[in-house]
Amino acid sequence: MDTVPILEAHQVRKRYPGVQALDGVDFRLEAGEVRALIGKNGAGKSTFVKILSGATHPDSGTLTVQGRPTVIHSPAEAFASGIATVYQEMSLVMGLSVAENILLGRWPRSRRLGMPTIDTRRTVAEAREALDLMGVSLNPREQVRRLSVPQRQMVEIAKAISFKPKVLILDEPTSSLPAHEVDALLALVRRLAESGVAVIYVSHRLQELPRVADSLTVFRDGRQVGTIPMPEATPERIVQMMIGSEWKRSSSTTRSATGAVRLSVKDAVRKRFIRGVSFDLHEGEVLGIAGLLGSGRTELLRAIFGLDRLDAGSIVVNGRTVRRPTPIRMKSLGVGMTPEDRKGEGIVASLSVAKNLTLTSLDRISNARVISRRAERDLAGGMVKALSIRTPSTAVQARALSGGNQQKLVIGKWLNSQVQVLLMDEPTRGIDIEAKNQVYGLVRELAARGISIIFVSSEIEEVLEVSDRILVFNRGRIAADLPIGQATLENVLAISMVSEEQAAV
């Protein structure tokens, strides 16, 4: 094909502090083509998507849309130049109707009583047009609040389509969808492609890709490392392209923990997220959990810690079944959790370093409910030293610390409460390399002291780095339970990306 491509990127570069997110990306997309986009965490694909959708700007390089050099400054300009993006995070306004959401901010106007008003009839009509094009039967007047998650996803896509885009970008569109809804979505993408829309389909669910994509582009380390036609894209080849050859585990801890069982999860079920999960966590063991977005890893930790209810199954701590787990109950049993959202759920930014470090152990530093300042100072000061938290003093507000040091506060407060089991959800998210390495070292050190740790991360390398054993999650199930000696980046990546149905074949 020697036509003008609908979208072309040339030598696009983007640097964030501390990381070259995009290092000269070339990319070419034809009309009516569905291109799968794939790459490990941090490979640069989401930065690339953000540049195309106007959410961020490249440092250098050129974009050409329909043969015209284009500079995209904002999401509005992206829409105007024919690029519409559907993000996995929902951006709908719950209180508005389907139609009002689809045409958000672009409602057809009319005048009534001399005042500008929204022309509801035309809004509904135009929204219905987009929905019909998708072959989706949804009432445009329905409030979005009342829709199911998959239906909301459809509204998101209808919203994108209503811009009549030339290029539609779908970012992990199936991560929140149940299996049967996935089929409908894939069919929709094919229909759109047949009508001439070019689609960039970001997904790691390998079994979906042959059914929807024509070809596949792999990103690695901020570069586009290759584009192959879909029939040639075997899971082995994809994984090999994603990984390259350079990565090697640096540490060589291959202990298999055989200590007492500290925590057992038995047949845990939570509708839509966890579909029958059982495992044991031993004393002094680091149990890594790898899995894609939506595989149920965060939901599992939340359920263990009592933040979400399980629909079925049980949680056993030190041999005792915990009937209704709550954070208070789990803390009293020696279980702590460092949440994924450090700022929103981990630290109290307005409180001092010392107060954050003692928040879980107020009983330890108080007598008859009166806090001993000295005990507080000693406990906090000791932890600042033990974790080498970089802070001018323990009286400083937690908000003043860097991300890595804030993470240490969250870990430190649980150590102060003398936990035996620590659930860590993405503990290195958003912190710099040096701090990451300190966290890995800390995790190993705690394990050596007998603390049992569940380490959840979307970066498989670090799961391999710190764990004694790895559970690979796939669509709410444990797809593999690997001692560290048998786990490699290749097989963990492959298992997490390929559905269990396919893996069983």
Partner 1 sequence: MSADQRHEAVGGPRSIPEAAPAGRFRAFLARSGLLLALIILFVVLAAVAPNFLSARNLLNVLRQVSFVGIIACGMTMALIGAEVDLSVGSVVALTCCLLGVLNQKLGWPLGLAIAAVLVESTLMGVFAGWIRVKWDIPGLIVTIALMLSLRGLAYVVTNAFPIPITNDSFAFLGSGDVLGVPFPAILFLLTMALFGFISTRTVYGRSVYAVGGNAEATRLSGIPINRVRILLFATTGLLAAVAGILLTSRLSSANAGVAVGWEFDVISAVIIGGTSLFGGEGSMFGTLLGVLFIGLLGNGMVMLGVNPYYQQVARGVIILLAVLLSALQRPKTTA
Under rule CB under 8 A, residue 436 binds partner 1: no
Q: Does 319 bind partner 1 (CB under 8 A)?
A: no
Q: What is the CA radius of gyration of the chain?
A: 25
Using rule CB under 8 A, residue 339 touches partner 1: yes
Footprint of partner 1 on residues 49-78 (CB under 8 A)? 50, 56
Question: Could you tell me which stretch among 2-10, 134-142, 157-165, 362-370 binds partner 1 (CB under 8 A)?
Answer: 362-370
Angle at which helices 373-386 and 403-416 cross, to 10°: 120
- Can you give the three-state secondary structure of 4-19, one letter per residue? CCCEEEEEEEEEECCE
Nearer to partner 1, 26 or 345 (CB): 345
In whole angstroms, how far apart are CA 209 and each of 26, 173, 203, 215, 348?
Answer: 22, 12, 8, 9, 43
Residue (70 or 406) nearer to partner 1, CB: 406
Residue of 184, 228, 261, 349 that binds partner 1 (CB under 8 A): 349
Residue from 7, 169, 206, 401 that binds partner 1 (CB under 8 A)? 401
94 binds partner 1 (CB under 8 A): no
Does residue 171 interact with partner 1 by CB under 8 A?
yes
Which residues between 95 and 154 bind partner 1 (CB under 8 A)? none
Is 169:85 a contact under the CB 8 Å cutoff? Answer: yes
480 lines the binding site for partner 1 (CB under 8 A):
no
Beta strands per DSSP E along 147-250: 167-171, 198-202, 215-220, 223-229
Near partner 1 by CB under 8 A: residue from 290, 337, 384, 422:
337
Q: Pick the binder of partner 1 from 328, 374, 504, 505 (CB under 8 A).
A: 328
Name the percent of the chain in helix, strand, coil, to the closest 5. 35, 30, 35
CB 98 within 8 A of CB 140: yes
**Contact, 426 vs 456, CB < 8 A?**
yes
C-beta neighbour count of 375 within 10 angstroms: 15
Near partner 1 by CB under 8 A: residue from 226, 395, 485, 501: 395
Residue 434 is a binding residue for partner 1 (CB under 8 A): yes
Query: Is 363 a residue that touches partner 1 (CB under 8 A)?
Result: yes
* DSSP labels, 75-95: HHHHHHTTEEEE-SS----TT
Cα(278)–Cα(340) distance, rounded to whole angstroms?
Answer: 22
Task: Out of 259, 390, 450, 486, point to the residue binding partner 1 (CB under 8 A).
Answer: 390
Q: Which two tokens stand for residue 90?
A: 């929902």
Strand positions, DSSP E, 302-437:
312-317, 320-322, 335-338, 366-367, 370-371, 421-425
Number of residues binding to partner 1, judged by CB under 8 A: 70
Judged by CB, which is closer to partner 1: 14, or 166?
A: 14
* Residue 351 makes contact with partner 1 by CB under 8 A: yes
- Tell me whether strands 274-282 and 286-291 are parallel, antiparallel or unpaired: unpaired
Residue 115 gets which letter from DSSP?
E
Is there binding between residue 203 and partner 1 (CB under 8 A)?
A: no
| Pick 43 or 471: Cβ nearer partner 1 | 43
Q: Which is nearer to partner 1, 18 or 105 (CB)?
A: 18
CB closer to partner 1 out of 162 and 438:
438
Q: Which of 6, 31, 33, 47 binds partner 1 (CB under 8 A)?
A: 47
> SS3 for 51?
helix
The CA distance from 304 to 470, in Å, is 18
How many Å apart are CA 188 and CA 113, to the nearest integer? Answer: 42
Query: Which CB, 260 or 395, lies closer to partner 1?
Result: 395
Measured from the CB atom, is 39 or 82 closer to partner 1?
A: 39
The piece of 66-74, 193-201, 308-316, 370-378 that touches partner 1 (CB under 8 A) is: 370-378
Residue 423's nearest CA partner among 262, 302, 269 is 302
168 binding partner 1? (CB under 8 A): no
| Complex with partner 1: residue 14 or 128, whichever CB lies closer | 14
348 binds partner 1 (CB under 8 A): yes
Q: CB within 8 A of 368, min separation 6: which ones?
A: none
Instruction: Choose the binding region for partner 1 from 59-67, 317-325, 392-400, 460-468 (rule: CB under 8 A).
Output: 392-400
Query: How far is 208 from 36, CA to CA, in rounded Å?
Result: 10
Size of the chain, expressed as the number of residues it contains: 505
Candidates 310-318, 378-386, 399-407, 496-504: pick the segment binding partner 1 (CB under 8 A): 399-407
Q: Which span (28-36, 75-83, 313-321, 343-351) binds partner 1, by CB under 8 A?
A: 343-351
Contacts of 332 (CB under 8 A, 6+ apart): none
How far apart are CB 413 and partner 1 at their closest, in Å? 7
Pick the binder of partner 1 from 344, 374, 385, 505 (CB under 8 A). 344
Token code pair at residue 346: 């981990």
**How many CB atoms are located within 10 Å of the residue 299 CB?**
21
* Residue 305 binding partner 1, by CB under 8 A: yes
Q: Which residues bind partner 1 (CB under 8 A)?
A: 16-19, 21, 41-47, 50, 56, 88, 171-172, 202, 293, 305, 307, 327-328, 330-332, 337, 339, 344-351, 355, 359-360, 362-363, 366, 369-371, 373, 390-393, 395-397, 399-405, 413, 417, 429-432, 434-435, 458-459
